[in-house]
A and B are shown apart, each in its own frame.
Chain A
Amino acid sequence: MKSKSVVPEGIHFWSGNVAAAEGAIAAGCRFYAGYPITPSSEIAEHMAARLPQVGGKFIEMEDELGSMAAIIGASWGGVKSMTATSGPGFSLMQENIGLAIMMEAPCVVVDVQRAAPSTGLPTMIGQGDVMQARFGSHGSYDIIALYPNSPNEAFHLVIDAFNLAEKFRTPVIFLMDEVIAHMYEKVHVPPPEEIEKKIVWRKTPKVPRERFKPYEYDEDLIPPMPIAGQGYRFHTTGLTHDERGYPNMSPEAQEKLIKRIYEKISSRREDLAKVETHLCDDAEVVVVAYGITSRIAKMAVDLARKEGIKAGLLRLITIWPFPSHIIKKLAEQADFVVAEINHGQISREVERHTGARKVKLVPRMGGTVHRPEEILRGIREVAGR
């Protein structure tokens, strides 16, 4: 068998799913556990072929509950790990996503969404898991979720997802659209040394075993992470715990732990915000969109400009934590249209930060993308045309 150790530099013609898988390998991911589900299955198939070539491991688990548990286990073994799924599987993973949050185990969960609820429309587009990505597991926590709008971006953004997971010791949700996952486009892979420079690894403990506490955190609120088998003999649990990792059933311990887990992410909201703007400088109507919908919204904005409406586009790349400061700033000058393939999820988040400004939702229930004219009608309505 021919060895292909790194992601080959150059221009590739890849689907979003393959690009996300190759991006994960470039980011240093060496463990994948998953359960087949369209429209994400090509990620599993690609990882099954590629991971052993680079010394990594792939395992097809018996379900999504087990897949999520397995990637947390691998993460504690010191290996960057991921899974990929779609809505039904994402629902099943929620409990253990909470475990990864509580144990602070870095990992990446790709959710290639499809029209839902329940089995819905396999395997056609939907953007209905945005709020589940934020609030899907029980309890209070903050989360990082990223959302590409092309295969090329999927490759690069999944590297960011792994870096953020490692830096913040948290699961990172990577949301993709079915259309992006199955669309083939050019993907530019930079030279390996250029990728290597960007790679982030978790902080590791520097103190001897006797003085080591697995949840003693630094100023950035993030504790260094031990790896199983290093001799630290640490304990970790999904129970509320103290700095030693020991269960502590007191409101004080709960207050301290959950606040820190929340704030380690929410306090970096502005640093984490990644957006793309198009004609926003003088915009009086801003369309907020993400994923494939942003590409159609851009067409709608250009059509509106031709009609003399000062329209702009705000594309969300970081979905969570929500870039509210950017929305607030735009609300000083503009009203909003939110186009998304659900019955209104991000539109509610936009409403929370826009005061008396108009926020017009242009929804679609799934199965197909918007037509530019639908979004254009929304822009006209908000502009009073």
Chain B
Amino acid sequence: MISSEEKKVGQEIESLLRTDRLPHVWCPGCGIGIALGALLRAMVRVGLDFDKTVMVSGIGCTGRAAGYVYLDSFHTTHGRAIPFAVGLKLARPDLNVIVFSGDGDLFAIGGNHILHAARRNHDMLVVCVNNYNYGMTGGQHGPTTPSGAFTSTTPYGNPERPMNLPHLMISLNAPFVARWTVAHPRRLMRSFEKALQRKGFRFIEVISICPTEFGRKNKMRDPLQYLMSIKENSVVKHDASFEEMEIRPNKPIVVGDFRDVKVEESYEDVYYKIIRRFEDA
């Protein structure tokens, strides 16, 4: 049964979409829509001022999200969504800034920026949809591809080790760090709700499914089966250790709100204090 509140939220999230841009570019069975839907629901439930909320994306499948939301939205260059958002937020601290992009965009080509944005504690929410590969360019391996996985550039299995994204963000002292999957849409939405109400650099990794590229090459061609396998292989553990957060073959995907600490000031708050010293003088 859909509650009347859920119905209302459903109507409101439709008003947050550029329906004149449909159909979207995402393949049937893609998980990005679930991640975006959970975010939009959370935005409605938290009651953000949508005229003061902006979304910035980079390049790639997830990078197309900015083009579908009825917000001030920016589809930037590959890897540069975060520094673009940094400039926008510092120039305009009154805006709620959300970066919504993929794992390759944020952690390979854009890797340097996310490290320093987290370190500086910019006041923004960064959502990383992790589908384990570069979907848009034909399913090549990337910084998050699990070891041994087959992709169009790892035809003999991935010889690399994937990045442990939440642990990396925690190491940089990001005050809010979570990982959920598209098989946990409600938990994901609640995590977004929490993150939207916090201050400072907030990071949520969303493990997604890419049946067309990654699934096809790794015996998970069927979207539903793929989704269920993620659900069945996930374990909720909010106080997960570094090892537990690692994504390894034949190990469960550990999900949770790994870090949620209150920070008094973001980078922007600190910088504006400097400006006020001159205003008061």
Chain A residues within CB distance 8 Å of chain B: 1-3, 30-31, 33, 52-57, 59, 61-63, 65-67, 69-79, 81, 95-96, 98-99, 226, 228-239, 246-247
Contacts and interface: CB of A to CB of B under 8 A. Distances in A.
Given A33-B87, A70-B84, A73-B88, A236 B278 contact: no
Contact of B274 (A52, A69, A73, A247): A52
A73 B85 contact: yes
Contacts of B67: 235, 237, 246-247
3 nearest interchain CB pairs?
A73-B87, A70-B87, A66-B83
Contact of A71 (B82, B87, B278): B87
Contacts of B56: 73
Contacts of B91: 30-31, 57, 73-74, 77-79, 81
Contact of B94 (A57, A69, A229): A229
A78 B93 CA distance: 12
Contact of B92 (A52, A67, A229): A229
B72 A237 contact: no
Contacts of A30: 91
Interface string B98-138: 00000000000000110110000000000000000000000
Nearest to A236: B74
B278 A1 contact: yes
A257 to B, nearest CB: 15
A81 B87 contact: yes
A31 B89 CA distance: 11
Interface of B: 18, 21, 50-52, 54, 56, 66-67, 70-77, 79-80, 82-92, 94-95, 112-113, 115-116, 271, 274-275, 277-279, 281
Contacts of B77: 69, 95-96, 98-99, 238
A73 B54 CA distance: 11
Contacts of B72: 76, 226, 228-229, 232-235
6 contacts: A77-B91, A99-B80, A229-B94, A233-B51, A239-B75, A246-B67
B66 A61 contact: no
A109 to B, nearest CB: 14
B73 A235 contact: yes
A72 B88 CA distance: 8
B67 to A, nearest CB: 6
A226 B89 CA distance: 16
Given A229-B54, A231-B51, A62 B112 contact: yes
B112 A63 contact: yes
Nearest to A230: B51
B14 to A, nearest CB: 14
A54 B67 CA distance: 35
Contacts of B21: 246
Contacts of A229: 51-52, 54, 72, 92, 94-95
Nearest to A237: B75
A74 B88 contact: yes
Nearest to B78: A95
Contact of B112 (A54, A66, A76, A230): A66
A317 to B, nearest CB: 29
Contact of B83 (A61, A95, A238, A239): A61
B76 A77 contact: no
B278 A70 contact: no
Nearest to B116: A62
B84 A53 contact: no
A70 to B, nearest CB: 3
A81 B112 CA distance: 22
A40 to B, nearest CB: 19
A55 B275 contact: yes
A239 B281 CA distance: 46
Contact of A73 (B18, B84, B278): B84
Contact of B54 (A53, A78, A228, A237): A228
A73 B116 contact: no
Given A1-B281, A96-B77, A236-B75, A228 B87 contact: no
B75 A78 contact: no
Given A67-B83, A72-B87, A73-B74, 10 more contacts: A52-B274, A52-B275, A57-B90, A66-B112, A69-B83, A70-B87, A77-B92, A81-B91, A235-B18, A238-B75
Nearest to A95: B77
A234 B54 CA distance: 10
B69 to A, nearest CB: 8
Nearest to A79: B91
